[in-house]
Structure 1
Amino acid sequence: MKFGFLTGCLQNMTLEEKMKYAHDVGFTALDVSCWPRQNTRDFSGSDIDVENLTDDDVNGIKELQKKYDIVFSSLAYYDNMLDPDDDIRKSYSDHLEAVIKAAGRLGTPLVGCFVGKDQTKSLSENFDEYEKVFTYFVQLAEDNNVKLMIENCPMPGWQEDGLPGTISYSPELWDEMFRRIPSKSIGLNFDPSHLDWLHIDYLQALRDYKDRIFHIDAKDMIVDEDKFKYYGIFGKKLNREHPEDLGFWTPVIPGLGDINWSQFYNVMREIGFDDCFSIEHEDRRFAANNEEVEKGLEYSFNHLNPIIHDFK
């Protein structure tokens, strides 16, 4: 099994610098952030300019992968692919197309993305849009020898009221996704931390969707049950400190939260998962600068590596 991290957490570093850092720590994979060069999303990055990728760029990146013994588990681009604004949606769609084609040229097996949601339409209408939009993307992925994976974050920061900004965050919704598009070229980037704060059994979900799990995000979560009882299932509504602040959950690096990673690993073994395990660093306490980010990554590496080191 390959062990890596999502690269967007490290800012103002070249892709080669990130690959060298990963190699020096002991990581064997990178989930490469591939947002547009111009974007304002938090926890994002643009380590490969997919829209202007040349053959020389592709060859140079492959040489760096050999030099540092690093595979790319995925190219990552997470935006609202069902955005209600037609111009914005087209810009997101065009960029996702470029990411998929770049993954094919680089020999990267996966592209990670969100479904998103059009807040002006019903859930049924959103799934109709999903079926149309993602049937095209899945076919494009297949044409480029790539698979698409959907990360199961609800994206409460995309709505002012903190309600879900995607239609792809729970087993109920996954079933509808896969019913609408049964292709085996679309699956999950499984993040247990979101299931944890949603009070969904992430271990049972890991078992139930084993055939659709292409990649696993190692991210942890602290859930304050007393605050959950105060704010309720829909979360904090007043005086939110940032868009994701629902009052009762906090994302943290693996090893500092509620998830028992030894138990989680045992279920990974049970289902025969042998693809990539990748840290997604969104712990605001280790985000002031790259030195702090690296402390977080290395803490999690040292916590997780002894758990998974014998997993072949």
Structure 2
Amino acid sequence: MINVQLAFLTACLGDRSLDRIAHWAAGNGYDALEIAAWPGHSREHTANHLDVAHLDQRLVDETRALLALHGLGISAISYYDNNLHPDEAERHRVHEHLRACVRAAAELDVGCVGTFVGRDPGKTVSENQHIAARVLTPLTKYAAEHGVALAVENCPMPGWHPDGYPGNLAYSPELWDWMFELGFHLNYDPSHLVWLGIDPVTAISRYGDRIAHVQAKDTQVHHDRIDRYGVYGRATERVDPWDSGWWTYRVPGLGDIDWTRVVDALHVAGYSGAVAVEHEDPVWSGTEDRVLTGLRIARDTLRPMVRP
């Protein structure tokens, strides 16, 4: 068992207010929230549970009071979008909103903002790296000046690439080493490592000191389907850009990850942040009741191993 807070990313309850989410979380065994803070015009999400673009002292005080009322903390303020978007105007909008998230985190004494590196899908990895050195380093410096870590989730984001290839250049340890040089930290999510063939426990043992935040999501591999699609997933049969055809994200406990080993590795590494459930399980989605059931399943899986 490790002494960290159990949280969940609020994006799975995008239609609920932060007040209602906090009330439910406190009554159902959660210690904290990873607060989704996408802008209202986002192409990715409508989940905006903290209006960072219009944050003032009143909103800061109201947010503090709400969480205190329910005995909850904030594990991170998160906005996962493409920081290397090929359209420079859109990239500027993404960066400005990310800076607003950083300022909000500083005002609320939250040490972490969750984000992506992203990618220009029309350019090679090397070309993207050259762009990143120029346009992303100012973001990490801005965060550091505010006492905030920009923690990048290691999600490949295949839906951002026209052929389902990685759309977020932070999916492997090779790229982690590079993004650390830019000043980013790691938002470790083992679910992505599973289908990439990377051992989640080995990744922790080698990079545990660079983990600023942990997301808990599981992956179910359908071994009978990989013989048809291969590791790159559906090609001509990919109607949904996010559907590989041979693996599915699940809530913790319903996939292939050995959470006892993962939590043990985090303990050995000395991790002291939060573990935040990211609910993207299609089986337990579709209605609010199903989403809440999924969050309860995740809680029941992780609570025996995680305590505040």
The CA deviation at 1:189 is 0.6
CA RMSD of aligned residues (A): 1.3
For 1:41 and 1:119, locate their aligned partners in 2 and report how far apart those are by CA, in whole Å. Answer: 16
**Residues 131-176 of structure 1: CA deviation (Å, up to 9, x unaligned):** 2222111111112111110000000011221111111100111112
User: 2:145 maps to which residue?
Assistant: 143
SS where residue 9 of structure 1 aligns? Answer: helix
Contact 1:82 1:116 in 2 (8 A): yes
For 1:173 and 1:137, locate their aligned partners in 2 and report how far apart those are by CA, in whole Å. Answer: 18
**Residues 2-40 of structure 1: CA deviation (Å, up to 9, x unaligned):** 110000101321111111111111111100000002234
Contact 1:37 1:49 in 2 (8 A): no
For 1:128 and 1:26, locate their aligned partners in 2 and report how far apart those are by CA, in whole Å. Answer: 45
For 1:169 and 1:279, locate their aligned partners in 2 and report how far apart those are by CA, in whole Å. Answer: 19
User: 2:134 maps to which residue?
Assistant: 132
Aligned pairs for 1:262-301 (under 5 A) are 262-301=260-299
For 2:263 and 2:239, locate their aligned partners in 1 and report how far apart those are by CA, in whole Å. Answer: 34
SS where residue 5 of structure 1 aligns? Answer: strand
RCO (CA 8 Å, sep 6+): is it higher in 1 or 2?
2
Percent same amino acid at aligned positions? 38
Question: Which stretches in structure 1 are left out of the alignment for 5+ residues?
Answer: none
Contact 2:15 2:47 in 1 (8 A): no
1:14 corresponds to 2:12: no
SS where residue 64 of structure 2 aligns? Answer: helix
Contact 1:220 1:259 in 2 (8 A): yes
Q: TM-score, normalised by structure 2?
A: 0.96
User: 1:28 maps to which residue?
Assistant: 31
For 1:233 and 1:263, locate their aligned partners in 2 and report how far apart those are by CA, in whole Å. Answer: 25
Aligned pairs for 1:135-214 (under 5 A) are 135-178=137-180, 180-181=181-182, 183=183, 186-214=184-212
Question: Which stretches in structure 2 are left out of the alignment for 5+ residues?
Answer: none
Letter in 2 for 1:14: S
For 2:165 and 2:121, locate their aligned partners in 1 and report how far apart those are by CA, in whole Å. Answer: 10
For 2:176 and 2:14, locate their aligned partners in 1 and report how far apart those are by CA, in whole Å. Answer: 33
Contact 2:249 2:281 in 1 (8 A): yes
User: 1:112 maps to which residue?
Assistant: 114
SS where residue 285 of structure 1 aligns? Answer: coil
Q: TM-score, normalised by structure 1?
A: 0.94
Contact 1:11 1:290 in 2 (8 A): no
Residue 48 of structure 1, aligned match among 47, 50, 55 = 50
For 2:125 and 2:216, locate their aligned partners in 1 and report how far apart those are by CA, in whole Å. Answer: 29
